Amino acid sequence: MLSDLAWLPAAAPDFRERVRALRAEAAAPGEQYFERAVALATAALDENQLGQLARVARDVAPAAPAAFSKVRLGLIGDGTLSLLAPVISGSGVRHGLLIDVVEGAYGSGVQQAMDPTSPLHGAGLDMLLIASDARSLGLHRAADSLEDADARVEAALAQLKLVVQGFKPAVAAAILVQTVAPPLEPLFGSFDRVEQTSAFAMVEALNRRIGEWAAEGQIVVVDIARLALSIGLERWDAPRHWHASKLSFAPEMAPIYGDVVARTVAALRGRAKKCLVLDLDNTLWGGVIGDDGVAGIALGQGSAAGEAFLAIQHTALELRRRGVVLAVCSKNEEAAALLPFREHPEMVLKEDHIAVFQANWTDKAANLRAIAETLNIGIDALVFLDDNPAEREQVRRELPLVGVPELPEEPALYPRMLMAAGYFEAVAFTQDDRDRAGMYQANAARAAAVNASGDLDSYLASLDMVCTIAPVDSVSRPRVAQLINKSNQFNLTTRRYTEAQVEAAESDPRRHISQARLVDKFGDNGIICVMVADRQGEAWEIDTWLMSCRVLGRRVQEACLDHLARAARADGAQRLIGRYIPSPKNAMVRDHYAKLGFTLLSEEASGETLWTLDLAAYASPELPMLVDDKAVAGAALELQQ
């Protein structure tokens, strides 16, 4: 299932012709090029087909439609890497990425890291992937003693850390470190896990250390060890290919390897999916509610089918707990569709777990569009789970950017298929993620409230909003970095910074970085705004200003501007300078500065605009919220010192 990418439909029969067509128009991409490329890539392709797509990615890069995210990925590691580059790049197209893989020289990762003249240092890398193998790290043969085993694990880790340290200045966004697949062949047998000198135990120890290292936020882990175990080491590891070509794993595993790397890069670029849309009949329960009634559907303990449907509901609920929004899209009468949620005693999913409930007879593509619109997220943030192949096909054809996993006939395998696809890949997990699904729920309640109250001002006043603006610290940093890397729509400059860069900005005397949180009577929205400004003599230039779309229309931007104005004034500045850099997704803030009373300074052909606000003439607005500004006091303190 995993190794043959079974959640993806089979490759188009005319794949070869279609990939050539895309290549032929790469210099001048036509209509819907992005959608066509993603659709072609969204299939269970083999390593050769992925290689052909990699060529498309390379050829189209100079003239690429803006919907693609470009990533220059350095690749260093043990063994032969040349087989990996094309599958990573080809799989990237599936995730809307144009990954330009720059291969390091064979072996010698440490030397390349230490040598600032090595080609990788000057390559302008966004990310770097370190692909290790137990056989090159000296962990594939048993150690002589416990001390020797410890020393070897430490040496392997130290070598990886040297490489990361050496490359850090040369990599803009993130360094990805692979875990290492353990050796299949036991030395003692089960006792390998007990005996710490065994190769198996040493590899396990290294992988544990890599996990701890990633938890510190310095690297991003790509868990190849877990992947290898999931597939089965017997199929993963191919000694004949190691001996013949120094391939770290069986070449037929290249497609799943490429997808796992690409989905991690996609998650770093904020392209992971955000919402799981569920069909109902024969997806969440067995049978058809409209025909079988609450008593007749298969759901719950006591039957194999009933337990299988319980399992997929539990999977959905677990996803919701980690912040994935749930929605329903079903061809049903709404009253019938709601019955199990309200009346079936074994339903795990309840009505209030579902942010948007679309049960009607309209086609599913239209309903999915409506769901994305209601939640204010892109159509490409949706995954659609449906047992009916015809519905899946219709959605794939009309909405190629929606993730639509194939499902096997056996419902017991639904959870595995959904989760193996890796749609919701994460590189961090914060309290805000935990709360996110609930926040969307609260948003739905707010939408209902505004309808009830009728006029916006009284509605806003009724929300009892408190906006707390504060400097960034170690607690807020992960969420701030996440927002910086994921916010696309309300983002004036779309500049991405890593957690380490955020930390550096906090103590940089030329930079002002602050974050805002919004609480209202429906709940805590968490950190919803990040501002970075640079002190430039008598002006402050706003380097970054982004907000979460979930608080649009709440006048939070005015509270934030007021904060920036007061912080800049306290610093002695006369003017605020704002910049808008257009991206494929941020058209909604094109007039942001104009609306806030800035004056246009200049406009470039690219649509980039520069704005100024005279602080002497700026007056604080009346806002329908309490603003607790902890970040300006800090700025004032700095002045006094």
Partner 1 sequence: MSQESILGELREIMIDVFDVDDLEITRATTAEDVEEWDSLSHVRLVVAVERKFGFKFKNSEIEGLKTVGDLADVIAAKTA
- Summarize as ranges the residues that interact with partner 1 (CB under 8 A): 16, 20, 46-49, 51-52, 55, 80, 82-83, 240-241, 243-245, 247, 251-252
Tokens in use for 150?
């410890």
Block residue for tokens 């997806």: 283
Tokens in use for 459?
């509605």
User: Are 196 and 146 in contact, with CB atoms under 8 Å apart?
Assistant: yes
Cβ 47 to partner 1 shortest distance, Å: 6
Cβ 618 to partner 1 shortest distance, Å: 60
Cβ 234 to partner 1 shortest distance, Å: 13
Compute CA distances 95 → 3, 49, 403, whole Å.
Answer: 18, 16, 10
Closer residue to partner 1 in complex, CB, 245/583 = 245
Compute CA distances 324 → 165, 423, 488, whole Å.
Answer: 34, 11, 18
Q: Is the dihedral of CA 202, 228, 225, 230 positive or negative?
A: negative
Closer residue to partner 1 in complex, CB, 241/271 = 241
Cβ 551 to partner 1 shortest distance, Å: 49
H/E stretch holding 213: helix 199-215
134: left (phi over 0), alpha (psi -120 to 50) or beta: alpha
312-333 burial by CB neighbour count: b if 16+ within 10 A, else e? bbebbbebbeebbbbbbbbbbe
Task: For residue 621, give the amino acid letter.
Answer: P
| DSSP category for residue 539 | E
Closer residue to partner 1 in complex, CB, 252/398 = 252
Cβ 235 to partner 1 shortest distance, Å: 12
Cβ 26 to partner 1 shortest distance, Å: 14
Residues contacting 285, CB < 8 A, separation 6+: 297, 298, 299, 309, 340, 344
Task: For residue 527, give the amino acid letter.
Answer: I
Closer residue to partner 1 in complex, CB, 251/293 = 251
Could you tell me what percentage of the chain is helix, strand and coil, using 3-state DSSP and rounding each to the nearest 5? 45, 20, 35
Closer residue to partner 1 in complex, CB, 253/305 = 253
Closer residue to partner 1 in complex, CB, 20/314 = 20
Cβ 239 to partner 1 shortest distance, Å: 9
Task: For residue 479, give the amino acid letter.
Answer: R
Closer residue to partner 1 in complex, CB, 46/346 = 46
Closer residue to partner 1 in complex, CB, 47/558 = 47
Cβ 246 to partner 1 shortest distance, Å: 10
Listed residue (513, 512, 515) closest to 528, CA to CA: 515
Closer residue to partner 1 in complex, CB, 243/510 = 243
Cβ 185 to partner 1 shortest distance, Å: 18
Dist. CA 206–CA 544, nearest whole Å: 38
